[in-house]
Structure 1
Amino acid sequence: MWVQRVIELTGWEPLGVSVDWAAIEAELGVPLPADYKQLYETFGGVFSDSGYFLGRDEAVVFDFLAQWRVALSVDGGSGLGGTSAVASYAIYAPGGKGLVGWGSTERADEYFWLVDAERPGDHPILARSQSGGAGDRYDMSTSEFLHRVLADADFLPFGIARYNLGTLFEAGSGGRPL
């Protein structure tokens, strides 16, 4: 339902990207949200010249797995005792609990799932604004959160609709998803 709303909001034609989700989820050790997978297969790119949706493309800086691997390696060697510099959570490591990033904005907002290997179907969102802090938790789907960011000017502090950027979408990598 929410993925369809994002499609209608942007007027985008689904890309139909083929992704080996089994391999990605095997590396993570948990399943990804079904609506994220559908969003990625449909989009994979930049919304309103401001919101970056992490996808799957090893050659691009907005690669979902590459960003997670880097965050995990930095977090593991940070000397912070397993606590990430991002809020008070560690970056998710297979079999544990922690953050997995899936998006950001040009204003330095960051979007994560709070992942717990013992609760594999549960994907609450932790959104952290440019001002930092622990972040705000949202118990909603990835696609609902993304829709609210794009369309709800009152979705503070994360809604970008208040900036009148429109709802255009641009695929990354020359038409291929990011």
Structure 2
Amino acid sequence: MSELTGWEPLGISVDWTAIEGELGVPLPADYKELYEAFGSGVFSDSLYFLGRDEGSAFDLLTQWRVSLSVDQDSKLGNVSAVEPYAIYAPGGKGLVEWGSTEWADEYFWLIDAERPGEYPVLARSNDIGGWHRYDMSTSEFLYRVLADADFQPFGLAQYDLGARFMPGAGAPFDGQAL
């Protein structure tokens, strides 16, 4: 990804043990490497990459906690915003969002506590509906979205937005492009 975006890896230090302890499962190794290199923020002015920036809109755990709370709220009935799935709850099976686009595309891992180490990417597009499963790493999926115009329906390269990265607010460079 650094070659694609021209971004110099930041080498961010993260307490992954605490994060994974709250989730009850390890996160994908390549995702952790991506975050340590980039931090959270926006690729190509439109793809939002979540990381560990507590209190920020780009914080993976904050977003997961809110989604889980809504998904488990009995006042809303048995309907989930991620039907036919559910938001991942520790020890169970479900989705954890790690990215989205300004066009309401959403990118999740399907996490199963009984199968740690398996992280298929599930994605859906607001325009098209339905879920798409990708048995590839987070970094491969992200690369394909940013660089492969034929990666339909999610390829952003077709829009010629360029492959650049802008850190999110609360990230090490506080939203300033480098």
Q: With structure 2 as the length reference, what TM-score do the two structures score?
A: 0.92
- In the alignment, the residues of structure 1 paired with residue 82 and residue 113 of structure 2 have an alpha-carbon distance, to the nearest angstrom, of 19
* Residues 1:25 and 2:20 are matched in the alignment: yes
* Residues 1:53 and 2:37 are matched in the alignment: no
3-state secondary structure, aligned to 1:114 = strand
- In the alignment, the residues of structure 2 paired with residue 102 and residue 134 of structure 1 have an alpha-carbon distance, to the nearest angstrom, of 18
- In the alignment, the residues of structure 2 paired with residue 117 and residue 53 of structure 1 have an alpha-carbon distance, to the nearest angstrom, of 23
Q: Shift of the alpha carbon at 1:71?
A: 0.2
- The residue number in structure 1 matching 2:144 is 148
CA contact (8 A) 2:94 2:111 kept: yes
Per-residue deviation, residues 50-96 of structure 1 (Å, max 9, x unmatched): 00000111131111000000000000015443x52123100000000
What is the percent sequence identity of the aligned residues? 72
Cα distance 1:153–1:63, how it changes in 2: closer, same or farther (>3 A)? same
Counterpart of 2:108 (choices 108, 112, 125) is 112
CA contact (8 A) 1:127 1:135 kept: yes
Cα distance 1:34–1:90, how it changes in 2: closer, same or farther (>3 A)? same
3-state secondary structure, aligned to 1:131 = coil
Counterpart of 2:30 (choices 21, 26, 35) is 35
Cα distance 1:106–1:52, how it changes in 2: closer, same or farther (>3 A)? same
- The residue number in structure 2 matching 1:3 is none
Per-residue deviation, residues 88-117 of structure 1 (Å, max 9, x unmatched): 100000000000000000110000000000
- Runs of at least 5 residues in structure 1 that lack an aligned partner in the other structure: 1-5
Extract structure 1 runs of 4+ deviating beyond 3 A: none
Aligned residues: 172
- Runs of at least 5 residues in structure 2 that lack an aligned partner in the other structure: none
1:50-89 matches, cutoff 5 A:
50-77=46-73, 79-81=76-78, 84-89=80-85
CA contact (8 A) 2:106 2:124 kept: yes
Once structures 1 and 2 are overlaid, which stretch shifts more, 129-138 or 117-126?
129-138
Q: With structure 1 as the length reference, what TM-score do the two structures score?
A: 0.92
CA contact (8 A) 1:45 1:177 kept: no
- The residue number in structure 1 matching 2:132 is 136
Matched letter for residue 118 of structure 1: E
Q: Shift of the alpha carbon at 1:7?
A: 1.0
Cα distance 1:21–1:122, how it changes in 2: closer, same or farther (>3 A)? same
Once structures 1 and 2 are overlaid, which stretch shifts more, 90-99 or 130-139?
130-139
Cα distance 1:71–1:133, how it changes in 2: closer, same or farther (>3 A)? same
- In the alignment, the residues of structure 2 paired with residue 80 and residue 155 of structure 1 have an alpha-carbon distance, to the nearest angstrom, of 36
